[in-house]
Amino acid sequence: MATDKTDEEQIESIKKWLSENGMSLVVGIALALGGVFGYQAWQGSVRASGEKASSLYQELVDAVSVSPIEKLSEDQLSTGKFIADQLKSEYEDTTYGHFAAMFMAKVDVEQNDLSGAESELRWILDHDVEDSIGMIVRQRLARVLLSEDKPEEALKVVEEADDPGAYASTYEEVKGDIYMKLGRTNEARQAYQKALDTTVDDATKPILKMKLENLAPPTTIVAGNEATGDQSDSKKPEAE
């Protein structure tokens, strides 16, 4: 009997606890389930968003891709710009938005629209771009600025890169080209030499080597002979 009473008391205690805490328990469970399903919904949204962005980017590539001997029509350019603007607007801080701007910058250069290319590349740098992509963008922007005869701005762009890393060789070559444009030949020579020294995988760069060789320091001429630090071949006074 005592046992039955104890069981009844336990049941009553449980009922009382549920009446006092039941709502918080339900809410807790709901929140937990909501978090799980909410996370799953978020994952699905991200996946769907990525698929849409990927599809849009492919449409962009298809819209403005032509063979090397063909020229883009006004309709193709207009369509490409419309899709790129949509990607940049809806996915501005994503790789797809950045790639869209890079692609249109390439198209602008091919169309000899350097101002348009500069605008696209600067947009990327202003929108939370990954370091690896940003390094490529800076190089391209610097070359566009050089073509626009803006070497000072080009130099500022490459100097803002903290650590080019794997792009050190190409960065130094771009800097060398900028220094040449500015008439700073000594610095250009140093940059080209550094670009050659930091070349990865023993890559051959004949154009880079040619740039450096064209800036070889002139040989000093002394008394009609080349000064090499050893004047043993110079004419000695005849013995009397």
Residues 151 and 201 in one domain: yes
Residues 135 and 104 in one domain: no
CB 145, CB 118: distance < 8 Å? yes
Residues 45 and 110 in one domain: yes
CB 219, CB 227: distance < 8 Å? yes
As a whole number of angstroms, the distance between CA 89 and CA 86 comes to 5
Q: Kindly state whether residue 174 falls inside one of the protein's structural domains.
A: yes
Q: Nearest Cα to 99, choosing from 141, 137, 143, 47?
A: 137
Number of separate domains in the chain: 2
- Which CATH number is 175's domain given? 1.25.40.10
Residues 168 and 190 in one domain: yes
As a whole number of angstroms, the distance between CA 123 and CA 199 comes to 30
As a whole number of angstroms, the distance between CA 133 and CA 166 comes to 12
Single-letter code of the amino acid located at 96: Y
Residues 106 and 138 in one domain: no
Residues 109 and 137 in one domain: no
Domain hosting residue 145, numbered range: 130-217
Q: Kindly state whether residue 226 falls inside one of the protein's structural domains.
A: no
List per-residue pLDDT tens for the chain, 240 residues long.
455 556 666 666 655 555 655 555 555 544 454 444 443 443 444 455 578 889 999 999 999 887 666 788 899 999 999 999 999 999 988 899 999 999 999 999 989 999 999 999 999 999 989 888 999 999 999 999 999 999 999 999 999 887 888 889 999 999 999 999 999 999 999 999 999 998 876 667 889 889 989 887 655 444 444 444 444 444 444 444
Residues 82 and 108 in one domain: yes
pTM, two decimals, is 0.69
State both tokens at 184: 């700073």
